Structure 1
Amino acid sequence: MARSRRLLAACAAPMGLMCAIGAIHAFAAPPAGTLTVSFPHPDTYTDAAYRSAYGSDRERAQVMNDIRRHFDELAARYLPQGYALNIEVLDIDLAGHFEPWRVRGYDVRIVRDVTWPRMTLRYALRGSDGAVIGSGEQRISDQAFNMGVNVYSQGDRLRYEKAMMDRWFDETIRRRIAARESGQG
């Protein structure tokens, strides 16, 4: 706290703007590792559209972009510099199902306890030395998605999927990195 006050006080002097930019960089997180996310064969995904049961390429692209953006956020936060993570999203099945008979003329996604989110991922995690420290194909799901606390807002279209992705990233990627960093992996 004292360090931040000294930096901000020094920024009040002439050249304050340049100093403020330097202060922001001083508190920024270290650069993240490299993340690559791909979506092979999105036309075969189980359910990857926000608005209709048979989503168009454009609707699938919105979902894929939101998933990619969330993986980018996780990597920026938790993937150390020098590490590389490659993720292939092989299948997406969003929480809920479309029930067009609920509202005549519209596809409405109804979320029930039995319609939990699912994804199939293939990943490869490389350490800073280039060695593979984790890889595989995993089908992730969250059958308890509708119970407990979800940190994402009600308005977030991927709130259940993001919580599931967070858990996968923590249990699979962060644990392997922690084991490697501690010399156990």
Structure 2
Amino acid sequence: MLRLSSLLPGGLLAIAVTAAHADVAVNFIDPAHYTDAAYSHAFANEKDRAEVQRDITQHLERLAERSLPPDETLTIDVRDIDLAGWFEPWNTRMGHDVRILRDITWPRIKLAWALKRGDELLASGEERLVDMNYLMVTNTYPRTDRLRYERPMLDAWFRGIVGRREGVGSE
């Protein structure tokens, strides 16, 4: 499936190609009001939020490519993002904001989702994903991965969605 994503500076059109066998649509609802959706700034601008949105979308698309059957469609509405850690205004390095990870600054993502096969609703729900043990568990993602703590949380959630194909309205 081809999806037109956005017009880039200079008038170039970016085209994202998703897998022909699985379909996932990720929508970011009112991202300007997200709790914390920037990798390197305490106050996210549109460009900062776009980087996080792109990375989350790509990760969810990869999960769908591996796990969803060809006839199923997953729609995800992301309603809030709060990345792991936070920015402490007194803790900067050479004038740059630094994300500080503490055991109380766990990653959180609030979303609504619907899994369909054709017009048939297989499962749906609204969830608040939280990983309170993000600093205490083995993480196989590289230390340089900017979504290192959010990816395992999304992976676990996605595995649960794939397992709930039969139950409509789970939450």
Shorter-chain TM-score range: 0.7 to 0.9
Alignment of 1:16-95 (within 5 A): 31-95=20-84
Q: Structure 2 regions of 5+ residues with no counterpart?
A: 1-18
Partner of 1:156: 145
- Count the aligned residue pairs: 148
Task: State the TM-score, normalizing by the size of structure 2.
Answer: 0.82
User: Structure 1 stretch 103-112 or stretch 36-45: which is displaced more?
Assistant: 103-112
Confirm or deny: 8 A CA contact 1:32 1:75 kept in the other structure. Answer: no
Partner of 2:101: 111
Partner of 1:176: 164
| 1: CA distance, partners of 2:30 / 2:69 | 30
Task: State the TM-score, normalizing by the size of structure 1.
Answer: 0.76
Which has the larger share of helix?
A: 1
1:90-133 CA-to-partner distances (Å, cap 9, x unmatched) read 00000000013122622110011110000001100002x42101
| 1: CA distance, partners of 2:27 / 2:58 | 12
Query: What is the identity percentage for the equivalent residue pairs of Structure 1 and Structure 2?
Result: 47
1:50-99 CA-to-partner distances (Å, cap 9, x unmatched) read 11110110000000000000001100110111001000100000000001
Compute the RMSD of aligned alpha carbons.
Answer: 1.5
Counterpart of 1:136, as a letter, is G
Q: Structure 1 regions of 5+ residues with no counterpart?
A: 1-29, 181-185
1:31 offset after TM fit, Å? Answer: 4.8
| 2: CA distance, partners of 1:108 / 1:32 | 40
